[in-house]
Amino acid sequence: TQLLEQSPQFLSIQEGENLTVYCNSSSVFSSLQWYRQEPGEGPVLLVTVVTGGEVKKLKRLTFQFGDARKDSSLHITAAQPGDTGLYLCAGATGAGNMLTFGGGTRLMVKP
């Protein structure tokens, strides 16, 4: 069974602070995706990382895939209240469209 451990589970910070969310596993994934989910909605894909060591930037968000493709991190610079939500990492393996999700990080950014 493949598991993705996400940390921290909860994060409450002030607007303007930086934060990092971690996603770790003992398994190798062919790709890793990050999603953000708001209450009453389905998760929305933020980014997909495929290559070990890959770094992708999306405005104030920086995503990194570990060299061994077992872990990933999401760094948010100068967080804003609009960043509040549930952040989920998800790993893909094998054929088909099947994802293993981490437990999620619930982020609250206070103005």
Partner 1 sequence: KAGVTQTPRYLIKTRGQQVTLSCSPISGHRSVSWYQQTPGQGLQFLFEYFSETQRNKGNFPGRFSGRQFSNSRSEMNVSTLELGDSALYLCASGILAGGSYEQFFGPGTRLTVL
> Can you tell me which of 12, 14, 44, 58 binds partner 1, judged by CB under 8 A?
44
The rounded distance, in Å, linking the Cα atoms of 35 and 80 is 17
Instruction: Please check whether residue 102 is in contact with residue 23, taking contact to mean a CB–CB distance below 8 angstroms.
Output: yes
Name the H helices within 4-72.
none
Range in contact with partner 1 (rule: CB under 8 A) among 16-24, 62-70, 75-83, 94-102: 94-102
10 binds partner 1 (CB under 8 A): no
Of 42, 56, 47, 40, nearest in space to 90 by CA: 47
46 binds partner 1 (CB under 8 A): no
Q: What is the DSSP letter of 81?
A: G
Range in contact with partner 1 (rule: CB under 8 A) among 17-25, 63-71, 73-81, 84-92: 84-92
Binding-site ranges for partner 1 (CB under 8 A): 1, 30-31, 33, 35, 40-45, 48, 50, 88, 90, 92, 94-104
